[in-house]
């Protein structure tokens, strides 16, 4: 079931968003708007729309940037002060968005309100999903703190694996259900995108920046006395040549968009179906960590190594870290650096002989078992072996089972 929600569902959402979005754009281009009700309820709209749009745009960037630049995000979050500042900023923006979405929903609730009249059933569904997304985000910020840190080691690898068409949900499958529903509803928003007013995000009127200003005159009289009455029903009039050409062009573009959607579906669908059927296996490779003698007996050392299948452009993001402990002349244990609670990187405290998780205070003994705090199970371990005087580690996806 989790494989469906974290592997198949994101691709389904993306395929529908691209395919149906393109189709709607080319066949019903004038519906690419939010059906603006600014002229109907300007004041209520301001208090809902402005906080919502500013808040959600910044939050969206805060979620996307670590996926695009994980190494830079890791470097920024490595400083405690910066982490606290980002955490508080995120919470403030989340509350700002809650204020906005409450305003956007409230203005539609009264029967007879002008905004309600231009809200479709799908828009209501979208608003409810967005409200859940925002409230659950604030809930996570409040009750699962240091999300900026653990997001980097849980959601980011999963999202990057989806982009690489090599889906791997192992880093999110163990997360609390509350956090998982936040991720899933994020993709639900993407799925709803082409069926609702959300399409207006791609109808940003940039040309307003340079076009000459317009004077809009409000006509208070819905039926002016001089309004001409058309003697011929519009439907009965034959289409002009330019209307026919326009119709053909739209039909052609609609067909092209269906083809583009089909190609997109094939590109992302075939690898993910292969993965779900178990046809695609994550490769495992032994990587050398260095000569045996470079690791003193009884000590725990940070080591880094390359993924089993690094992409040529992956740079430092292809590197993984682990804690290597030498128990005896030929006994080594390699611990995953990720805490088993929410995946924050644990630190080794040599004086205390303990691993400490900075996010929620999880503590592990030197053998990886839980000493205290919220982690539900011991630190995961990698298989280790000695070959020709060097310590080698078996790269594998998380979570790594204890061996
Ligand atoms: S991530 Fe919560 S205690 Fe480690």
Q: Give residue-wise pLDDT tens across range 132-153.
A: 999 999 999 988 888 888 888 8
Name the more confident of 83 and 356: 356
Q: What is the DSSP letter of 133?
A: H
Q: Which ligand 1 atom sits nearest the alpha carbon of residue 361?
A: 3
Mean pLDDT of the chain: 80
| Neighbouring-strand partners of residue 286 | 394
22-26, 310-314, 329-333: which range is least confident on average? 310-314
Structure tokens at 61: 């960037």
3-state class percentages of the chain: helix first, strand second, coil last, to nearest 5: 55, 15, 35
Q: What is the dihedral of CA 88, 375, 156, 186, to 10 degrees?
A: -70
Q: What is the pLDDT of residue 334?
A: 92
For the chain, domains (ranges, CATH) are 2-209 (1.20.950.20), 286-394 (2.102.10.10)
CA–CA separation, 363 vs 386, rounded Å? 29
Ligand 1 contact, 339 CB (< 6 A):
yes
Pocket test for ligand 1, best of 364, 375, 378, 379 (most atoms within 8 A of CB): 375
Q: What is the pLDDT of residue 263?
A: 77
Contact partners, residue 259, CB within 8 Å, separation at least 6: none
Q: Is pLDDT of 316 > 80? A: no
Ligand 1 contact, 342 CB (< 6 A):
yes
**Residue 61 exposure: Cα atoms within 13 Å on the Cβ side:** 8
**Residue 280 exposure: Cα atoms within 13 Å on the Cβ side:** 13
| Per-residue pLDDT reduced to its tens digit, 80-110 | 788 888 888 989 999 999 999 998 888 888 8
What 3-state class would DSSP assign to 104? helix
Question: Where are the alpha helices (H) located in 69-195, listed in sequence order?
Answer: 70-77, 80-106, 114-117, 121-143, 147-153, 155-163, 170-173, 177-192
Q: Which ligand 1 atom sits nearest the alpha carbon of residue 375?
A: 3
Q: What is the pLDDT of residue 403?
A: 37
CA–CA separation, 307 vs 288, rounded Å? 12
Ligand 1 contact, 362 CB (< 6 A):
yes
Please give the distance, rounded to the nearest whole angstrom, from the Cα atom of residue 253 to the centre of ligand 1: 51
pTM: predicted TM-score of the whole model, two decimal places: 0.67
What 3-state class would DSSP assign to 370? strand
């Amino acid at each position: 079931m989790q494989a469906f929600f974290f592997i198949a569902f994101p691709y389904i959402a993306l395929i529908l968003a691209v395919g149906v979005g393109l189709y709607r754009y080319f066949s019903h281009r004038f519906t690419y708007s939010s059906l603006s009700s600014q002229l109907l309820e300007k004041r209520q709209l301001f208090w809902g729309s402005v906080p919502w749009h500013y808040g959600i745009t910044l939050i969206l960037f805060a979620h996307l940037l670590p996926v695009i630049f994980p190494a830079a995000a890791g470097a920024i979050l490595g400083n405690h002060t910066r982490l606290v500042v980002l955490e508080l900023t995120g919470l403030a923006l989340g509350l700002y968005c809650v204020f906005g979405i409450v305003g956007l929903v409230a203005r539609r609730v009264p029967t007879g309100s002008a905004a309600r009249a231009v809200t479709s059933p799908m828009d209501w569904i979208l608003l409810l999903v967005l409200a859940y997304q925002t409230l659950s985000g604030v809930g996570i910020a409040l009750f699962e703190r240091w999300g900026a840190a653990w997001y980097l080691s849980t959601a980011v690898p999963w999202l990057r694996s989806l982009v690489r068409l090599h889906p791997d949900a192992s880093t999110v499958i163990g997360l609390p259900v509350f956090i998982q529903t936040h991720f899933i509803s994020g993709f639900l928003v993407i799925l709803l995108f082409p069926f609702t007013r959300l399409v207006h995000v791609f109808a940003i009127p940039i040309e307003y920046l340079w076009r000459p200003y317009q004077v809009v005159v409000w006509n208070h009289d819905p039926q002016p006395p001089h309004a001409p009455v058309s003697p011929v029903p519009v439907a009965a009039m034959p289409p002009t040549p330019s209307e026919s050409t326009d119709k053909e062009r739209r039909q052609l573009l609609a067909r092209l968009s269906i083809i583009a959607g089909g190609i997109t579906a094939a590109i992302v669908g075939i690898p993910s179906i292969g993965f779900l059927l178990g046809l695609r296996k994550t490769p495992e490779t032994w990587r050398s960590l260095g000569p045996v003698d470079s690791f003193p007996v009884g000590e725990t050392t940070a080591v880094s190594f390359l993924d089993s299948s690094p992409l040529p452009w992956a740079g430092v993001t292809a590197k993984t870290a682990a804690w290597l402990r030498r128990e005896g002349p030929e006994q080594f244990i390699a611990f995953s650096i990720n805490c088993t609670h929410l995946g924050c990187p644990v630190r080794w405290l040599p004086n205390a002989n303990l691993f400490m998780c900075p996010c929620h205070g999880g503590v592990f003994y030197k053998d990886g078992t839980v000493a205290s705090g919220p982690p539900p199970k011991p630190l995961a371990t990698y298989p280790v072996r000695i070959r020709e005087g060097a310590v080698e580690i078996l790269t594998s996806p998380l979570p790594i089972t204890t061996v």
